[in-house]
Amino acid sequence: MELEVGGRVTVRQGAVVGGGPWTPGQVGEIVATEMIDGPSGPLVSYRVHFGDWFDTPGVVRTYRFLEDHLDALVVVLSERESADLAVVRSALAAVVPDLERELGRPASARADNYGDGVRLAIEGAWQEPFQHSRNDEEAVKQEIADFVQSILGRDGVWPVCRAHDFGLHPDLIDGVAVWRCRYADHSVARVGELDADNHP
Ligand SMILES: [Zn+2]
């Protein structure tokens, strides 16, 4: 077994850790390695991506539940929320109300760590990794709104400007993410603040 980025590791026994409980035989991929301060000195930490189990915020944990392994093996099941992830999660929370008003129900939407970046899952559609403007929450709102529009726009135009019966697009105006009507070049609402009039 290769203990390098790209290497596969297998759960040896069930253990309630991070996003667990884990299933014996479950396979993960090492996506990053780094040196960390262990209880008795420096250790190599392996960050392992177990597919959908990787989204739970957590801490550096666990030894010895992967087969064939060194006592010193430490798996970072998921990191503390990075500043980058915090910006994306905050922006996502701001955008989701537009999506939920359109769906008429709670939306499935989440952001989590992915390799050295962030990934986004909205209503079963993924951006992995999610390429975004770092540390500019309004710009990230615009980028997420664009993704939401690509999902909801599959079945037609969404959202619309009722004044001009024209499709809206997310834009960044004076540093603020807004839904923009290009027909008359005006902002209809901040991203996340559409109302029923903007449904097609
Ligand atoms: Zn308009």
Mean pLDDT of 1-6: 61
Both ends of the chain: CA-CA distance in Å?
54
- Of the three residues 43, 59, 76, the one that is the final residue of a domain is 76
- Global pTM exceeds 0.85: no
| Residue finishing a domain among 52, 76, 100 | 76
| DSSP state at residue 81 | P
For 167-195, how does the pLDDT look when each residue is reduced to its tens digit (9 = 90+)?
Answer: 999 999 999 999 999 999 999 999 999 98
Residue 48: its pLDDT value, please? Answer: 67
Q: Inform me whether the pLDDT recorded for 29 exceeds 80.
A: no
CA dist list (Å): 60 to 26, 77, 81 = 19, 7, 12
- The DSSP output letter for 66 is B
2 assigned to some structural domain: no
Residue pair 179/159 in contact (Cβ under 8 Å)? The answer is yes
- Domain co-membership, 61 together with 132: no
Q: Which of 41, 60, 76 is the last residue of a domain?
A: 76
In this predicted structure, the answer to whether residue 83 has a pLDDT above a threshold of 90 is: no
148 and 72 in a common domain: no
Distance 178 CA to ligand 1 centre (A): 13
**In the sheet that 8-10 helps form, which strands lie side by side, from edge to edge?**
8-10, 27-38, 41-49, 74-76, 60-61
- Find the 162 Cα to ligand 1 centroid distance in Å: 7
Q: Is the pLDDT of residue 79 over 70?
A: no
Give the position of tokens 């253990």. 15
d(CA 183, CA 79): 45
* 186 CA from centroid of ligand 1 (Å): 6
pLDDT in tens, 111-140: 887 777 888 999 989 998 898 888 899 999
Q: In what order do the strands lie in the sheet with 160-161?
A: 160-161, 166-173, 176-181, 186-190
For ligand 1, the distance from its centroid to the CA atom of residue 39, given in whole angstroms, is 61
The whole-chain average pLDDT of the chain stands at: 75
Q: Looking at per-residue confidence, does 4 or 21 come out higher?
A: 4
Going by pLDDT thresholds of 50, 70 and 90, the confidence category of residue 3 is low
Q: Which of 129, 191, 192, 200 is nearest to 161 (CA)?
A: 200
pLDDT of 52 above 80: no
CA separation for the pair 149, 152 (Å, rounded)? 5
Distances (CA, A) of 74 to 20, 53, 70, 118, 155: 15, 17, 9, 22, 46
Cα of 197 to ligand 1 centre, how many Å?
Answer: 12
SS3 category, 22: coil
Is the sign of the CA dihedral 117, 121, 54, 59 positive or negative? positive
Q: How far is the CA of 177 from the centre of ligand 1 (A)?
A: 16
Rounded to whole angstroms, the Cα distance separating 47 from 60 reads 9
Whether residue 177 sits in one domain with residue 108: yes
- Rounded Cα distance, 181 and 172, in Å: 12
87 and 70 in a common domain: no
The pLDDT score that the predictor gives to residue 144 is 97
Protein residues near ligand 1, an ion, with CB under 5 A: 161, 163-164, 181, 184
Q: Looking at residues 53-61, what average pLDDT do you find?
A: 38
